[in-house]
């Protein structure tokens, strides 16, 4: 179909999975969330939660994704090979409303692009991934 591309994952949790996606979405890397994440629970403990219909618990601070790398196309499908697991962490800034920023932080940092020069209050180090 025009504008659509079939991709096939090899390795990782998606090994053997075939998907049809928008051709423009077939970028060099695709990431796939494993469906679980780290969160501060209502009782203050830190735990692993599964993403539910309402999305993340308000205390979420990180989750891991699998990264798949686009490989050389040999047939009608574009192969994507499992490369690495990567942690995605939440921005550590505490906003003016007293709540933690909802955005994810940039690679090798602890703040999102909006808060990259943040000098105000942050969450404790143990909540930064
Ligand atoms: Zn932020």
100 Cα–ligand 1 center, Å: 8
Distance 104 CA to ligand 1 centre (A): 7
For residue 110, report the distance from its CA to the centre of ligand 1, in Å.
Answer: 9
Q: How far is the CA of 90 from the centre of ligand 1 (A)?
A: 8
Q: Indicate whether 54 pLDDT > 90.
A: no
Global confidence as pTM: 0.79
Expressed in angstroms and rounded, the spacing between residue 59 Cα and the centre of ligand 1 is 15
With a pLDDT cut of 90, the percent of the chain lying above it is: 88
**Cα–ligand 1 centroid distance for 128 (angstroms):** 12
Q: What is the pLDDT of residues 64-111, one digit of tens each?
A: 999 999 999 888 999 999 999 999 999 999 999 999 999 999 988 999
Query: Which own/partner contact pairs does 17-25 have at CB distance under 8 Å and 24+ positions apart?
Result: 18/77
What is the structure's pLDDT at 2? Answer: 73
Instruction: Report the alpha-carbon distance of residue 126 to residue 123 in Å, rounded.
Output: 8
């Amino acid at each position: 179909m025009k504008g659509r591309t079939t991709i096939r994952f090899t390795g990782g949790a998606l090994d053997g999975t075939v998907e049809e996606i928008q051709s423009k979405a077939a970028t060099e890397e695709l990431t796939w969330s494993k469906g679980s994440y780290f969160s501060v629970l209502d009782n203050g403990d830190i735990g692993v939660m599964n993403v539910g219909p309402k999305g993340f618990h308000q205390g979420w601070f990180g989750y891991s994704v699998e990264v798949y790398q686009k490989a050389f196309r040999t047939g009608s499908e574009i192969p994507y090979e499992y490369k690495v697991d990567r942690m995605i962490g939440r921005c550590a800034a505490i906003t003016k409303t007293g709540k933690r920023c909802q955005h994810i932080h940039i690679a090798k940092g602890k703040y999102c692009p909006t808060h990259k020069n943040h000098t105000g209050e942050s969450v404790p180090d143990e909540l930064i991934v």
